[in-house]
A = this chain, B = another copy of it.
Amino acid sequence: MYSSAVKNLLAVLERLPGVGPKTAERFVLHFLKTGKGEVARLQMALEELSQKVKSCAVCQNFAEASPCEICADQKRDHRQIAVVAEPQDVAAIEHSGEFHGVYHILRGVLNPLEGIGPEQIKIAELLDRVRRATAAGEPIQEIILALNPDIEGEATMNFLNRELAAPDAAEPRGVKVTRLAKGLPMGSDIEYADDATLASAFKGRREI
């Protein structure tokens, strides 16, 4: 039905996350309708992306410089590392304005069923970063595990906690490992909260 040029583009677009055949079709028709200007703009933006964006060697985030802006910022607290799964999480946490330390992006979470073990995500880089900070006489004071409270996230946090407890047999544990509070989200309704969230909210209750 479609010409080979359209089919090729459809095949590439369908590999985008959450894009199926119908959505890919709509995208192609958008490009065809809006004409060459829009296609050229996308091509240029892609070119710029692949030329400029690389990984920050410190926190593993995508950035135009290494170290990235956050890692190079001396006003931030470099003794506090928030460990997150994906770059999007950094954006969300920055947006909340609550955290002033630095980040470490794992680029995923442990998921044995999908073949993602400790070697597939940036765990060695985190342990190495903690060790190097200690060796440089500026030890990390707190590692905040800011992963999603789901099965894979919990398993990854358990694994990291064990690894950070004994990053090296010779080294005593010097770093405090914390995790984000679990409880009722703001604006939610107790009536509709799920059991696990409600149980977490009870366990984590605080005096007011």
Give the total of A residues in contact with B, Cβ under 8 Å: 54
The smallest beta-carbon distance between A114 and chain B, in angstroms, is: 14
Q: Which of A's residues lie within 8 Å of B, judged by CB?
A: 1-6, 8-9, 11-13, 15-18, 23, 25-34, 36, 38-53, 62-64, 86-88, 90-91, 94-95, 107
Main secondary structure of the interface of A (DSSP, over half): helix
Q: Contact at A4–B36, with CB atoms within 8 Å?
A: no
Q: Please report the C-alpha to C-alpha distance between residue A49 and residue B4 in the assembled complex, in whole angstroms.
A: 9
For A95, the chain B residues whose CB sits under 8 A away are 1
The residue of chain B having its C-beta at the shortest distance from the C-beta of A64 within the complex is B3
The residue of chain B having its C-beta at the shortest distance from the C-beta of A95 within the complex is B1
For A30, the chain B residues whose CB sits under 8 A away are 15-17
For A52, the chain B residues whose CB sits under 8 A away are 3, 5
